[in-house]
Amino acid sequence: MRALQPDLRAVVEDAVWAPSIHNTQPWRFTLSGSRISLRADADRRLEVADPEGREMLVSCGAALFNLRLGLRAQGLEPQVTLLPDPDRPHLLADVEAVPGEDPDEYTRALHAQVRRRRSHRGGFRADPVLDPELARIRAEAEQEGARFIQAVDAHVKGALAALNNAAEHIQRRTPSYASEIARWAPAPGGRRTDGVQHGSYPRTTPWTDPHFSARDFARGRGWGADPVHTEEPPTAGVIVLLVTDTDRPADWLRAGQGLQRSLLRASQHGFAAAYHTQSLQIPGLRAFIRTHFCGDAWPQLLLRFGMPDTEVLTSVRRPLQDVLTEGP
């Protein structure tokens, strides 16, 4: 057993390295004694693409997993109360840090990935994600109450790509979606510490079969990182839907925790994930995907896993003082 080492600010510093929709970082933390509270920052919710706040809570769930892992890495045990007060729906979790065990190898290895993990945008190298590694990545999500449904059949993969691409077309031609993307994809050279920066997506998206259109962050302005030349044609990677059995705020938080745990495990093996959430932001398409490809489970994210074919992309986060309030 370890004595309580109250370096809880460092734990919050880790938490913010979670992925979030358009890098909105829709979270706030309060530190009070040995308790960290996590709140959703509803001002950062995407009003057009995410009116219910589902993806906001998936993002906050990912940050919650980092909080728990960060505490374990310090020899503290996180006691989590999810959604502790029905009258305060934005209060997502109270996490009490109590003395725990020294971190084991598993915890240390996963924790080492927190700041290394990056979202990928584009194709993957031809090297496949091997079954044992994929099984480990899947198991991590299941430990958190979410699960992956892998698209294996070529027609299912093709259909998911087509639905993604249709959603991308719809969003590009709908002014409200397009202006929301513009708000969260700033021009190069600015000082923003949130949003999807031009160094975090390639200037051109390499073609894969099936092809999943990327989001239009550059909006025709030629922004983005230099493409990397590869000898072999890039692949789409392993295509999965992250699903939950029900679709309530607690499920969205579970999906986020499962997502982050899987992503960190994938990163440990040199893999990264690309996200395609366009089709799940359009209610009719989400319902279609649920009925046809999820056996009535609720799709939360469409992801591709693989070995990145590009240099490490960059990402930014807001400083601690912007997200953390310290109480008595």
Name the residue with the smallest CB distance to ligand FMN.
19
Closer residue to ligand FMN, CB minimum distance, 55 or 133: 55
Closer residue to ligand FMN, CB minimum distance, 80 or 316: 316
In terms of C-beta density within 10 A (0-12 exposed, 13-18 middle, 19 or more buried), how is residue 255 classed?
A: buried
Smallest distance from ligand FMN to CB 23, Å: 3
Closer residue to ligand FMN, CB minimum distance, 24 or 37: 24
With contact defined as beta carbons under 8 Å apart, do 49 and 78 qualify?
Answer: no
With contact defined as beta carbons under 8 Å apart, do 72 and 100 qualify?
Answer: yes
Distance CA(115)–CA(149), nearest Å, equals 27
Residue closest to 19 by CA, chosen among 264, 278, 266, 324: 264
Distance CA(144)–CA(304), nearest Å, equals 20
- Residue type at 29? F
Smallest distance from ligand FMN to CB 202, Å: 11
Smallest distance from ligand FMN to CB 52, Å: 12
Smallest distance from ligand FMN to CB 51, Å: 14
Question: Which H, E and C letters describe 116-158, residue by residue?
Answer: CCCCCCCCECCCCCCHHHHHHHHHHHHHCCCEEEEECCHHHHH
Smallest distance from ligand FMN to CB 317, Å: 8
Identify the DSSP state of 189: T
Q: Which residues bind ligand FMN (CB under 6 A)?
A: 19-23, 55, 58-59, 62, 118-119, 121, 196, 200, 215, 275-278, 301, 315
Closer residue to ligand FMN, CB minimum distance, 75 or 202: 202
Smallest distance from ligand FMN to CB 310, Å: 12
Distance CA(263)–CA(251), nearest Å, equals 18
Closer residue to ligand FMN, CB minimum distance, 22 or 44: 22
Smallest distance from ligand FMN to CB 114, Å: 10
Q: Which long-range contacts (CB under 8 A, 24 or more apart) does 214-221 make?
A: 214/121, 214/122, 214/168, 215/168, 215/171, 215/181, 215/278, 216/168, 216/171, 216/172, 216/178, 216/181, 217/181, 217/185, 218/185, 219/178, 219/181, 219/182, 219/185, 221/187
Closer residue to ligand FMN, CB minimum distance, 76 or 201: 201
Smallest distance from ligand FMN to CB 104, Å: 26
Closer residue to ligand FMN, CB minimum distance, 171 or 235: 171
Query: What SS3 state is found at 305?
Result: strand
Copy the structure tokens of residue 242: 């992250």
Closer residue to ligand FMN, CB minimum distance, 94 or 168: 168
